Amino acid sequence: MVANLKLDYEQIAHLVDQLTEEQQQALIIRILTHRASQRSLTPEEKIQLLDMVKLDNLVNEIPSIRREDWYDDDGR
């Protein structure tokens, strides 16, 4: 079902501001993927889309630089 509402840019921006951060990112992804289905994305749009799917997880520990810590006992 499609609603045909007369909304100006400011009203839409106000509604988007009420979304959570995750919802805003999902909306950006949805807009860019929709745009990509209609035409090729510009390099800036591709970068923006890739930035949206990045994870913001902290690394719990610093990776070891010792080879022994990365491989099994047989060295492979």
pLDDT tens digit at each of 76 positions of the chain? 566 778 888 998 999 999 998 899 889 888 888 888 888 888 998 888 788 777 777 777 788 888 777 777 665 5
CA angle, 58 then 26 then 13, to 5°: 115
- Return the pLDDT at 63: 81
- Return the pLDDT at 7: 84
- Return the pLDDT at 74: 64
Q: What is the DSSP letter of 18?
A: T
- Return the pLDDT at 2: 62
- Return the pLDDT at 50: 84
Burial annotation 59-70 (CB, 10 A radius, 16+ → b, else e): eeeeeeeeeeee
